Amino acid sequence: MPKITVLPHATLAPEGAVVDAPTGTSICEALLDHGIEIEHACDQSAACTTCHCIVRKGLDTLNEAGENEEDLLDRAWGLEAQSRLSCQAIVGEQDLTVDIPKYTINHAKENH
């Protein structure tokens, strides 16, 4: 089973983490299943950018990003060439290393 290495994130994974990720699940699902509470304001429906992550290793083993995902990513904070919406990035056969950006653009959360 592939593993996802999560680089240290101040609030979500201060020490970093390594989680098992069944092939065919999204990065978002795998992280949530292991208690890493990555934001997903649209309930993983590809309607926001709160689950944005940067795939530092293994990007080429994921499914290809669709046009809707690419359009949304243009609005993500801290966009990089290896950026994906974790709810749309489906784990393949190989291990991944991901970086969760320090900030997200979550308008619902900002209003509270």
> Which residues lie across from 18 on neighbouring strands?
5
Q: Under 8 Å CB-to-CB from 96, ≥6 apart: which residues?
A: 2, 3, 4, 5, 21, 27, 55, 57, 58, 61, 62
Q: Are 4 and 30 in contact (CB under 8 A)?
A: yes
Compute the distance between CA of residue 2 and CA of residue 46 in angstroms, rounded to an integer: 24
User: For 23-66, how does the pLDDT look when each residue is reduced to its tens digit (9 = 90+)?
Assistant: 999 999 999 999 999 999 899 989 999 999 999 999 999 999 99
User: For 56-76, how does the pLDDT look when each residue is reduced to its tens digit (9 = 90+)?
Assistant: 999 999 999 999 999 999 999
Domain at 3-106, CATH from 3.10.20.30, 3.40.190.10, 3.30.429.10, 3.90.550.10: 3.10.20.30
What is the pLDDT, as a whole number, of residue 110?
43
What is the pLDDT, as a whole number, of residue 107?
47
Where do the domains of the chain lie?
3-106
pTM of the model: 0.91
